Every structure is written in structure tokens, then in C-alpha cells.
């Protein structure tokens, strides 16, 4: 047992203290606190808070400290917002960038509209269903989660029923449940092929809980209603297991920032376009070319665009932008480009953009490190930060969404003519 003084919060939300042998990372401890901790190497387990931080408040969830879903629930709102914003500031500084960073925008809204539950089987096929324990492979059984949207509150019980329906196989499952306009949509991963009896059990579960759809590894088992999402003016059919932003408020906040930055552009490239979070809204004001590696997402985007009156043309291209980024010649016809890659970022595409003459680039990211790396590539190619804004879509986690706007000063006059 060691007495430690916590100097700051780290990138995962853990308290970082200085011990004789080096830094110690203590989950759930806050900056400015004196604590007792069990220490093993660099890891510490919080035992007692001897002197609490003035910014400490009570956690609101009964599972906090056990469930790994939330890293920081006990900070006052102002201290929490500063910590999250500084995650981005620090990542940019480490990349050699010091642009002004806007205040954190709360994009949690009414809560998460999608969640992945994990199921593991104990003796006699009894499932244990919930979220993963913090820094462990054990499952914390969850009866209710307060950060889920009201429409997703039944999700823990739905996941339990799905796990019981597949209990005979005893395979570990990941159960993704998404709230849609048509009702809950479920995609199961980890089971493999289903037997006829298992398919019938899932059909019964879908009927009992009025689910819109159940799919297994992206293959439809039963679709009682097409799971629909509203993106801008368009209704979009969500492909099985398809990606979308975690909260409705987050999607709308990010899209509003992107659309405002690109206002006036006549032809826009939307890279890593997915279902059309940005494409379908940008098509209200410009022609859009949407590029992604997922054919199902692009097909859903294209169908939604064609069936929505008053949108300008949206073209699609299936392409792996990690392996085959759009080169400078491919990018020459765009007034502006937006890219929103997975957590790994868009290093190859950022390099290609840096070598292009696109006047305006908007980078969207869910990872501060990969965003900082890609931003450094763009600035090394002559772009300048116009703005950078952090969004808190994943409240109480260490994840930050970012929108960065980059412009080429050398073509500013040309850009004004194009966008005027």
C-alpha cells in the first residue's frame, strides 16, 4: 500500500501519480487528490481517498468503478470539459501544432442510440450479459445503463434474451443493438452459422420484443421492418451492422459544423462517407461524390439520395482509401473535401490531400492522436488551421470527436471566387 499524490488525469481518464520507481496510473483517482493505492508496477488500485479533489462529485451510476464503459463520472462539469478539451490540445502539441482550440461542445443529447453487449456462458448455458469490466476480460452484468437514450433502455434485456436463445452453443457473443425509427435493430457477432432451431428462437425473440430486425454477422435472420434513420431530409435504410454516430445529437452537431464550413462549395468530395452522415446533408447545397470501402453503406446512401426530392446529385465510389487514396489528380475537381475515417485516421489520404490543390479540407475524427498526425500532414503541405473544435459525443469516456477546418492561404482568392 502506498500513499500517492495524483498530479493529473491521463488520456484514459486515470489519475497519474509520481512514485519512486516512476509514474503510477490509478483509475478513478482525480488530479490534486492524495490517495492510498495498491501498486503493482505502473498500475495502481484505488483503496482510499485521503484528501479529495475540490472538483470531485458523486458518481451517478451504480456500476461505476466496475464497468469499463465510463472512465470519469466524478468530475464537476467544468473540470470534466477542461480535461476532455486538453486531450486534444495535448495531442496537437505533441504533433508540433498549437492552433486555438474551441471549447468542448456537449453532443451527448438524450444518450447513446447504439451499444454492444457481450455475452459469455457459465455452466448449463446460462449467459452472463453486459459490458466488459474495466481493464479485465470479465463481464459486468448490466440491468440498466443511464447513458443510453430512452429508446435504447430496453437493450440490456433484449441482449439477455438473444443470449439465452443461442445458449446451447455456448459461444461468446457480441450483440450490437441500435435504436432506429423502426425499432431496435440487432446484429450478432461471434456465433457463426445458425441452426434451424436457433434461427427459430431468434425469430421468436424478435416478435416478442417487437424488434425491427435481427442479423447474424451482417446476414438477415428476420427483418420485420426496414430499420430507418433520418439523415438531413433523407430516410436511410441501415445495413445490418452498419456504422453510425453514437448519438443523434452528436451526428447533428458534427454535421452542422461540417456543412457550415463547406457552405458555398459547389462540388464536394466526402471520403469515408459511410451512410451519408455528411453527404446527404451537403447535397442540399452542392454536388457530392461519396467514397467508402463498404458497398452496403454506399448503396443505402445512394438509394436515399435518389429518393429524396430537391437534393443535388450524389455519386458514389467503392474504394479502399487506406490502400488507394484519392491522388492529387483525382482531387482536382473538388472545391472542398471532408474526410471522416475510423480511429486509425487517414494517413495515406491526408498525404495525398497535402499534395493536392484542394482549397478547403474538413477533417473529422474520433481519435485525438490520429487527428493530430493527419493535421500535421495537412499543415506540412501548406494548409492552415481555420478552426478546430472538440465534441463530447462519448460522455464520461476518454474519446473525443473533432472537426478541423483547413484552408490553403495561397489560393484564398481563388477559394473566395469558387465559394462566393
Instruction: Give mean pLDDT, residues 314-325.
Output: 98
pLDDT at 64 over 60: yes
pLDDT at 40 over 80: yes
Record the pTM: 0.93
Distance CA(298)–CA(292), nearest Å, equals: 7
Domains 2-56 and 114-228 share a fold: yes
CB 354 within 8 A of CB 378: yes
As a whole number, the mean pLDDT across the chain is 95
Q: What CATH code would you report for 2-56? A: 2.40.50.140
Fold for the domain defined by 86-108+244-419: Rossmann fold (3.40.50)
Can you name the residues that pair with 363 across neighbouring β-strands? 339, 404
Residue 417's pLDDT is 43
HEC profile for 327-350? CHHHHCCCCEEEECCCCCCCHHHH
Alpha helix locations (H) across 12-134? 77-94
pLDDT tens by residue, 173-189: 999 999 999 999 999 99
What are the two backbone dihedrals, phi and then psi, of residue 339, each rounded to the nearest 5 degrees? -135, 140
Residue 418's pLDDT is 43
What are the two backbone dihedrals, phi and then psi, of residue 56, each rounded to the nearest 5 degrees? -80, 135
pLDDT tens by residue, 126-144: 899 999 998 778 999 999 9
CB 84 within 8 A of CB 71: no
Residue 135's pLDDT is 76
Q: Is residue 132 helix, strand or coil?
A: strand
pLDDT tens by residue, 228-237: 999 999 999 9
Please give the DSSP secondary-structure letter assigned to residue 148: B
- Cell numbers 452498419 correspond to 242
Q: Please give the helix or strand (H or E) that residue 17 lies within, else none.
A: strand 15-19
Yes or no: domain 114-228 corresponds to CATH 2.40.50.1070: yes
Query: pLDDT above 70 covers what percent of the chain?
Result: 97
Residue 410's pLDDT is 61
Residue 419's pLDDT is 46
Catalytic positions are 366
Concatenated DSSP letters of 21-39: TEEEEETT--TT-EEEEEE
What are the two backbone dihedrals, phi and then psi, of residue 151, each rounded to the nearest 5 degrees? -70, -15
pLDDT at 411 over 60: no
- Domain boundaries defined on the chain: 2-56, 86-108+244-419, 114-228
Sequence-separated (6 or more) residues with CB below 8 Å from residue 410? 382
Distance CA(288)–CA(281), nearest Å, equals: 10
Residue 316's pLDDT is 98
CB 181 within 8 A of CB 228: yes
Residue 136's pLDDT is 78
pLDDT at 416 over 50: no
Instruction: Give mean pLDDT, residues 398-408.
Output: 97
Distance CA(377)–CA(373), nearest Å, equals: 6
SS3 content of the chain, % helix, strand, coil (to 5): 25, 30, 40
Amino acid at each position: 500500500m502506498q500513499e500517492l499524490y495524483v498530479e493529473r488525469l491521463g488520456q484514459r481518464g486515470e489519475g497519474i501519480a509520481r512514485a519512486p520507481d516512476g509514474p503510477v496510473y490509478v483509475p478513478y483517482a482525480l488530479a490534486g487528490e492524495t490517495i492510498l493505492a495498491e501498486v503493482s508496477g505502473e498500475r495502481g488500485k484505488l483503496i482510499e481517498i485521503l484528501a479529495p479533489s475540490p472538483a470531485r462529485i458523486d458518481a451517478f451510476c451504480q456500476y461505476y468503478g466496475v464497468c469499463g464503459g465510463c472512465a470519469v463520472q466524478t468530475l464537476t462539469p467544468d473540470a470534466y470539459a477542461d480535461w476532455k478539451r486538453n486531450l486534444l490540445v495535448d495531442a496537437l502539441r505533441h504533433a508540433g501544432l498549437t492552433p486555438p482550440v474551441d471549447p468542448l461542445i456537449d453532443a451527448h443529447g438524450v444518450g447513446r442510440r447504439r451499444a454492444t453487449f457481450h455475452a459469455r456462458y457459465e455452466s448449463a448455458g446460462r449467459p452472463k450479459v453486459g459490458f466488459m469490466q474495466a481493464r479485465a476480460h470479465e463481464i459486468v452484468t448490466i440491468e440498466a445503463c443511464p447513458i443510453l437514450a430512452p429508446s435504447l433502455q430496453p437493450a440490456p434485456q433484449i441482449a439477455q434474451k438473444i443470449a439465452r436463445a443461442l445458449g446451447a452453443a455456448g459461444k461468446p457473443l457480441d450483440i450490437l443493438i441500435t435504436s432506429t425509427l423502426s425499432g431496435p435493430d440487432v446484429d450478432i457477432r461471434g456465433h457463426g452459422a445458425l441452426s434451424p432451431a436457433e434461427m427459430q428462437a431468434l425469430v421468436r425473440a424478435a416478435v416478442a420484443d417487437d424488434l425491427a430486425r435481427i442479423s447474424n454477422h451482417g446476414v438477415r435472420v428476420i427483418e420485420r421492418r426496414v430499420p430507418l434513420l433520418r439523415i438531413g431530409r433523407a430516410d436511410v435504410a441501415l445495413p445490418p451492422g452498419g456504422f453510425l454516430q453514437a448519438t443523434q445529437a452528436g451526428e447533428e452537431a458534427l454535421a452542422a459544423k461540417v456543412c457550415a464550413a463547406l457552405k458555398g462549395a459547389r462540388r464536394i468530395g466526402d471520403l469515408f462517407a459511410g451512410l451519408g452522415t455528411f453527404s446527404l446533408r451537403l447535397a442540399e447545397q452542392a454536388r457530392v461524390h461519396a467514397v467508402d470501402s463498404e458497398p452496403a453503406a454506399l448503396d443505402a446512401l445512394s438509394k436515399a439520395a435518389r429518393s429524396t426530392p430537391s437534393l443535388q446529385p450524389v455519386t458514389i465510389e467503392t474504394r479502399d482509401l487506406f490502400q488507394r487514396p484519392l491522388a492529387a489528380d483525382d482531387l482536382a475537381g473538388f472545391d472542398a473535401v471532408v474526410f471522416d475515417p475510423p480511429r486509425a485516421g487517414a494517413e495515406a489520404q491526408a498525404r495525398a490531400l497535402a499534395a493536392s490543390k484542394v482549397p478547403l479540407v474538413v477533417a473529422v475524427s474520433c481519435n485525438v492522436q490520429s487527428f493530430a498526425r493527419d493535421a500535421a500532414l495537412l499543415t506540412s503541405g501548406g494548409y492552415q488551421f481555420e478552426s478546430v473544435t472538440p465534441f463530447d459525443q462519448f460522455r464520461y469516456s476518454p474519446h473525443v470527436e473533432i472537426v478541423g477546418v483547413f484552408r490553403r492561404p495561397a489560393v484564398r482568392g481563388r477559394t473566395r471566387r469558387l465559394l462566393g
